[in-house]
Amino acid sequence: MAYKYDKLIGRIIEKFGNRKAFAAAMHMTGESLSKKLNNHRCFDQREITRACELLDIADSEVSVYFFTLEVQSA
């Protein structure tokens, strides 16, 4: 199961200017963030909570940013 993080990436750029700055604020490496955004690793609950705080994502919007499934072509 793969998630679509386009909206999250857009919010990261809007708030931090680039992924590297956001990764630093998250206390993770750019490589670790990249793996998560490319569905090679999963965000854990603590990381989702921290990201929402840093990016001003409301509780009601969490699913849109972190749990939108990629549509698989047949």
Are 16 and 25 in contact, with CB atoms under 8 Å apart?
A: yes
Instruction: List pLDDT tens digits, range 17-40.
Output: 999 999 999 999 999 999 999 999
Would you state the structure tokens that stand for residue 12, as one six-digit string?
């990261």
Instruction: List pLDDT tens digits, range 30-69.
Output: 999 999 999 999 999 999 999 999 999 999 999 999 999 9
**Which pTM value belongs to this model?**
0.92
State percent of the chain over pLDDT 90: 92
Are 28 and 37 in contact, with CB atoms under 8 Å apart?
A: no
* Domains of the chain with bracketed CATH: 6-66 (1.10.260)
